[in-house]
Structure 1
Amino acid sequence: MSSILVINASGSESRVALIENGQISEFYLERNKEKGIVGNIYKGRVVRVLPGMQAAFVDIGLDKAAFLYVSDVYYDPDFSDQQFELTEGEHPEHEGVPDEYAAAMAPAGEEEEEGAAAPAANGDARKAEAKPSKAEQQQKAREKKEAQKKEVNIQDLLKEGQEVIVQVAKDPIGTKGARITSHISIPGRHLVFMPTVDHVGISRRIENEKERRRLREIVDALRPPGTGFIVRTVADGVPAEKLQADARFLIHIWNEIGRKKDKLGAPALLHPDLDIVLRATRDLFSADVEKLVIDDRAEYERIMRFVQATDPALASHVEYYDGEDPIFDAYGIEHEIQRAQSRKVWLKSGGYIIIDQAEALVAIDVNSGRYVGKKSLEETITKINIEAAKEIVYQLRLRNIGGIIIIDFIDMDKAQNRDKVFKALQEALGRDKAKTNVLKISELGLVEMTRKRVRESIGRMLNESCPYCEGRGTVKSKTTVAYEIFREIRRESSAFREQLIVVNCHPEVARLLQGEERDALRFLMDKHNKTIQVKPQQHYHIEQFDLYGKQEKKGERQQQQGGQQRRDGKRDEKREEKRGGGQQQAQQRQEREGRGEKREEREGRQERREERERREDRAAAAPAAPPSEAPQAAAPFPTVPEHRNGASAAEVTASTAEPAAAAGAEASKAGGEPPGQA
Structure 2
Amino acid sequence: MATNMDCELLINSTPGELRVALLEENVVQEIHIERENESSIVGNIYLGKVVRIMPGLQAAFIDFGASRTGFLHIDDIDPTQQLPKSKASSASVTEIKYLLHDGQSIIVQVVKEPIGDKGARLTAQVSIASRYLVFMPGREGIKISRLIKAKEERERLEEGLISILRECYTDNDTNQGSYIVRSAGQDCDLKVLKSDAQFLQLLWSSLQGKKARAQTPACLYQELSVEQRLIRDIDRTRLTNITVDNHETVSDLHEYCELIDPGLEDFLTYYGDDEPLFRKYKIDEEIDAALHRKVDLAGGGYIVIDQTEALVAIDVNTGASKGRGDPEQTVYETNCQAAKTIARQLRLRNLSGIIVIDFIDMSMTKNQNSVLEILKRAMSSDRIENYVSKFTELGLVQINRQRTYKSLQHVLNDDCSGCAGRGAIKSVETVSYEIWRELSRVSKIYEAKNLKIQAASEVIEYLSMPNRSVLEDFEKSRKCSVHLSLESSFIREKFNIIPV
With the length of structure 2 as denominator, give the TM-score of the two structures: 0.79
Q: Which one-letter code corresponds to 1:46 in the other structure?
A: V
Per-residue CA distance 1:390-440 (angstroms, 9 max, x = gap): 100100011100111110000000000000000001101111111112211
Question: Which shifted more, 214-223 or 16-25?
Answer: 214-223
Q: Which of the two has higher C-alpha Rg?
A: 1
Tell me the residue number matched to 2:141. Answer: 199
1:336 aligned to which of 286, 291, 309 = 286
Q: Identify the residue that residue 424 of structure 1 maps to in structure 2.
A: 374
Aligned partner of residue 369 in structure 1, secondary structure? coil
In the other structure, the counterpart of 1:159 is 101
**Residues 443, 322 of structure 1: CA spacing in aligned structure 2 closer, same or farther, 3 A cutoff?**
same
Paired amino acid for 2:259: A
1:85-131 CA distances to partner (integer Å, 9 max, x unpaired)? Answer: xxxxxxxxxxxxxxxxxxxxxxxxxxxxxxxxxxxxxxxxxxxxxxx
Contact 1:66 1:179 in 2 (8 A): yes
Q: Whole-Å Cα distance in 2 between the matches of residues 156 and 430 of structure 1?
A: 41
Q: What's the CA shift string for 1:6-35, capped at 9, x where partnerless?
A: 111233211111100122222211101100
CA pair 46-151 structure 1, distance change in 2 beyond 3 A: closer
Which residue identity lines up with residue 238 of structure 1 in the other structure?
C
Q: Note if contact 2:113-2:119 (Cα within 8 Å) is conserved in structure 1.
A: yes
1:33 matched residue in structure 2: 37
Q: Distance in 2 between matches of 1:402 and 1:59?
A: 26
Q: Which residue of 2 aligns with 1:361?
A: 311
Mapped pair 1:73 → 2:77: yes
CA separation in 2, counterparts of 1:148 and 1:215?
35
Structure 1 residues 473, 165: CA separation in 2 closer, same or farther (over 3 Å shift)? closer
Amino acid at match of 1:206: I
Structure number with greater CO (CA < 8 Å, separation at least 6) is: 2
2:79/2:93 contact within 8 Å kept = no
Q: Partner of 1:472 in structure 2?
A: 422
- Residue 27 of structure 2 is matched in structure 1 by 23
- Within the candidate set 249, 254, 272, 1:322 is matched to 272
Segment drifting more, 284-293 vs 409-418: 284-293
Q: Write the letter of the residue equivalent to 2:147.
A: R
**Which of the residues 383, 398, 405 maps onto 1:455?**
405
CA deviations on 1:151-182 (whole Å, 9 max, x unpaired) are 51110000000000111111111110011111
Match of 1:287 in 2: 237
Alignment of 1:442-591 (within 5 A): 442-473=392-423
Which residue matches 1:391? 341
- Structure 1: runs of 5+ lacking an equivalent: 81-140, 475-678
1:414 alignment counterpart: 364
Instruction: Map Cα deviations across residues 520-565 of structure 1 (whole Å, 9 max, x no partner).
Output: xxxxxxxxxxxxxxxxxxxxxxxxxxxxxxxxxxxxxxxxxxxxxx
- CA distance in structure 1 between the aligned counterparts of 2:53 and 2:164, rounded to whole angstroms: 38
Amino acid at match of 2:38: E
Structure 2 partner of 1:4: 8
Aligned partner letter, 1:21? E
User: Which of 54, 58, 62 is equivalent to 2:58?
Assistant: 54
CA distance in 1, matches of 2:99, 2:83: 14
Corresponding position of 2:330: 380
Letter in 2 for 1:12: G
Is 2:388–2:400's contact at 8 Å kept on the other side of the alignment? yes
Q: Distance in 1 between matches of 2:9 and 2:307?
A: 28
1:391 corresponds to which letter in structure 2? T
Change (3 A) 1:181 1:73: same
Contact 1:292–1:318 (CA<8 Å) still a contact in 2? yes
Contact residue 173 and residue 455 of structure 1 kept, 8 A: no
Please tell me whether the aligned partners of residues 353 and 365 of structure 1 are also in contact (alpha carbons under 8 angstroms). yes
Distance in structure 2 (CA, Å) of the matches to 1:15 and 1:287 = 23
1:68 and 1:59 map into 2 onto residues whose CA distance is 11
Range that drifts further, 254-263 or 226-235: 226-235
Deviating 4+ runs (over 6 angstroms): none
Rounded to whole Å, the distance in 2 between the matches of 1:78 and 1:361 is 34
Offset at 1:70? 0.6
- For 1:312, what is the secondary structure of its paired residue? coil
Residue equivalent to 2:488: none
Distance 1:205 1:319 in 2: 29
Paired residue for 2:430? none
Equivalent position of 2:456 in the other structure: none
Q: 1:183/1:407 Cα in 2 relative to 1: closer, same or farther (>3 Å)?
A: same
Q: The residue matched to 2:94 in structure 1 has which SS?
A: coil
Letter of the aligned partner of 2:350 in structure 1? N
Q: Distance in 2 between matches of 1:424 and 1:37?
A: 35
Contact 1:5 1:285 in 2 (8 A): no
CA contact (8 A) 1:287 1:314 kept: no
The aligned counterpart of 1:174 is: 116
Helix, strand or coil at the partner of 1:335: helix
In 1: Cα distance, 2:405 partner to 2:74 partner: 22
SS at 2:19 equivalent: strand
* Displacement of 1:469: 1.8
How many residues align? The count is: 412
What is the alpha-carbon root mean square deviation over aligned residues?
2.0
> What amino acid maps onto 1:33 in structure 2?
N
Amino acid at match of 2:342: I
Greater helix proportion:
1
SS of 2:20's equivalent in the other structure is strand
Q: Could you give the per-residue CA deviations for residues 591-610 of structure 1, whole angstroms, max 9, x where no partner exists?
A: xxxxxxxxxxxxxxxxxxxx
Report the counterpart of residue 297 of structure 1 in structure 2.
247
CA distance in 2, matches of 1:333, 1:230: 35
Residues 3 and 79 of structure 1: CA distance in aligned 2, closer, same or farther (over 3 Å): farther
TM-score (norm 1): 0.59
Residues 93 and 99, structure 2, Cα contact 8 Å, conserved in 1? no
**Is contact 2:68–2:119 with CA below 8 Å preserved after alignment?**
yes
Change (3 A) 1:297 1:149: farther
Q: Percent identity?
A: 41
